[in-house]
Amino acid sequence: MVRNVFVLGRTGSGKSTVVRFLRETVQQFGWSVKTFNDYPILREMYESEARRSFRPTDHDGFEVLDLSVYETAIRSLAQQVQSYCPINDRTFNTVEFTSNNYRDALQFFDNTLLQDAYFIFVAADLKTCLERTSKRAFYRATEDDYYVIDSVLLSHYPCPYVPPCINKGKVTLIENMGLLDEVRFTMNRYVLRLLEHDGQSYLSVPEYHLSAAFTDKCCKW
C-alpha cells in the first residue's frame, strides 16, 4: 500500500530533517521512499527563462518577485506526486513544501489522495527558523539546507498553520525545538505506529496548538 505523507511547516522548521528520519526508519522495514519537494521546482524556474520573476540574493539564493510563481510551483508539485507510479506498493511518498496558505495550496492535490494521506506539521518559532536559515549561508549540513533570506521568511511565510479542512486524526504535530535525537526518536515511533495500525497516526495533536486552525468549515476531504 502506497502511503502519502505531507510534511508541512515554516522554512527552517526542520521539514527536511523529519523527511530524512522518516526515510531512515521505513527503509529499515524494507519500504521504499520517494521524496517530493517544491524547492527544486522553484530553483529550476529561477534558473530558466522565468528568472524575471525572481531576483538573486546573497549566498546563491533567490527571492520570488511574482507571487504567482508559488502557485505555479505547487501545481507542478501536485502533478509530480499524482503522476508518480511506484515500482512496488510498499512505498512512502513524502511531500514537502511551505506555504502561508495551506488550505488553498492543498486544493491543487487530488481529493482521493488527500483523503488517504497523513500530515506532519513541523513546528518551530520564527526566531529559531530565522537563525537556522541564516546559518545555512555559511554551513550546509545537508544538500537540502537551502539558504533563504530573512525578508522572504518574514513576508511570505509569516504564520503557516494546519488548515481546518484536514482530518485532525491524520495530523501529527512535531515540535522541533530540541535535540535532533528527539526528532529521530519521534519519527521512529511515528513510522512504527503507522505501519502497525492502518489509518492511524501515532502522536495526538494537542488542542491548544491547533485551536485556531479548526475554526472554519471543513472541506470534503
State what percent of residues in the chain have pLDDT above 70: 87
pLDDT of residue 175: 92
172 occurs within a structural domain: yes
51 occurs within a structural domain: no
pLDDT band for position 50 (cuts 50, 70, 90): low
68 occurs within a structural domain: no
**For the segment 1-19, what is each residue's pLDDT rounded down to a tens digit?**
889 999 999 999 999 999 9
**Average pLDDT of the segment spanning 53-74:** 91
95 occurs within a structural domain: yes
DSSP string, 57-91: EGGGEEEESSTHHHHHHHHHHHHHHHH---SSSSE
Helix axes 39-46, 68-83, angle to 10 degrees: 120
63 occurs within a structural domain: no
Specify whether the CB–CB gap between 142 and 132 falls below 8 A: no
Residue 215 has pLDDT above 60, yes or no: no
48 occurs within a structural domain: no
Specify whether the CB–CB gap between 38 and 144 falls below 8 A: no
Q: From residue 151, how far is each of 40, 148, 164 by CA, in Å?
A: 20, 8, 27
Residue 186 class from Cβ within 10 Å (0-12 exposed, 13-18 middle, 19+ buried)? buried
More confident of the two residues 209 and 37: 37
174 occurs within a structural domain: yes
The residue behind cell 511565510 is 157
Residue 128 has pLDDT above 90, yes or no: yes
Q: Which domain range does residue 204 map to?
A: 3-37+90-214
pLDDT of residue 205: 34
pTM (two decimals): 0.85
The Cα 189–Cα 55 span in angstroms is 42
**Average pLDDT of the segment spanning 166-187:** 90
CATH classification at residue 156: 3.40.50.300
146 occurs within a structural domain: yes
Split into its structural domains, the chain has a count of 1
